[in-house]
Amino acid sequence: MLSQRPEDPFHIVLGKNALAGFVSGVTTGIAVGPAENLKVVLQLRKSGDPINAWDLSKKIFGPVPQFMLIFGTACALEFSVIDHLKKTHGPFVSSAASAATGGCFLAMADHITARFQLAKDAGKPISVFQAAQNIVREGGVKALPLGASPMFVRELFFVLGVVYTGTYVGEKIMKQTDPESKLRSDFLGRFLTVATFSLLTQPLLS
């Protein structure tokens, strides 16, 4: 999270946390985006369908920028929530609330993305808003965040990795404590921790 001054007003603090979260999410999206897209492709693939390597690579790497935007937005929400609540409710409640916020958002984005891709593969492309409308029309508003529980577990790993575990891992790797080195060690530790947690928790979303 970005450094804050005690005199910073609420909207400045919120903006700094959202920016830090967005950058963190976009960076992580580069690492885990292909795995996420592969999951969606395998979920939508019919049993027995032949696999074309070129088409598969386009489906895996083509949507990575879109995934980076989605995950960046989720992290912006999570960073804003956790920093706001931890001052009054402590680290556990704030981490859980942050994970719940990000999990619900990602569950909705996952459903909409899958519906969008399904229509595109069928030769009947629709917009993201139309995909969301179709989901709500068929199952109601409650259908959008359906399956948010696995996302919540995964995002809890993510939040804990960014805020707590990542700094510890970075310090153990670099073994330096001066301020300039700590920035690098925090970044390295958080990136490695979050990428590892994201890949290990892929089965939760299958």
Determine what percent of the chain is predicted with pLDDT higher than 90: 0
Q: What is the pTM of this model?
A: 0.65
Contact 94, 164 (CB under 8 A): no
Using left for φ > 0, alpha for ψ between -120 and 50, and beta otherwise, residue 123 falls in: left
Q: How far apart are CA 111 and CA 154, in angstroms?
A: 17
Tens digit of pLDDT for each residue in 124-183?
888 888 888 888 888 888 888 887 888 888 788 778 777 777 777 777 887 766 666 777
Q: What is the pLDDT of residues 40-54, one digit of tens each?
A: 677 666 666 666 667
Question: What is the arithmetic mean of pLDDT over 102-126?
Answer: 84
**Contact present, 77 and 109 (Cβ < 8 Å):** no
Judged by DSSP in three states, 128 sits in: helix
Q: What is the mean pLDDT of residues 173-201?
A: 72
CB contact burial 11-21 (16+ within 10 A = b; e otherwise): eebbebbbebb
Q: What tokens appear for 116 in the block?
A: 């969008």
* Beta strand residue intervals within the chain, DSSP E: none
Mean pLDDT score, 74-81? 83
Structure tokens at 62: 């083509």
Integer Cα distance of 128 and 134 in angstroms: 10
Task: Collect all residues with Cβ–Cβ distance below 8 Å to 108 and sequence separation of at least 6.
Answer: 132, 144, 145
Confidence of residue 38 (pLDDT cuts 50, 70, 90): confident
Mean pLDDT of the chain: 77
Rounded to 5 degrees, φ, ψ at 74 are -60, -45
Tell me which range, 21-35, 84-98, 191-205, is most confidently predicted by mean pLDDT. 84-98
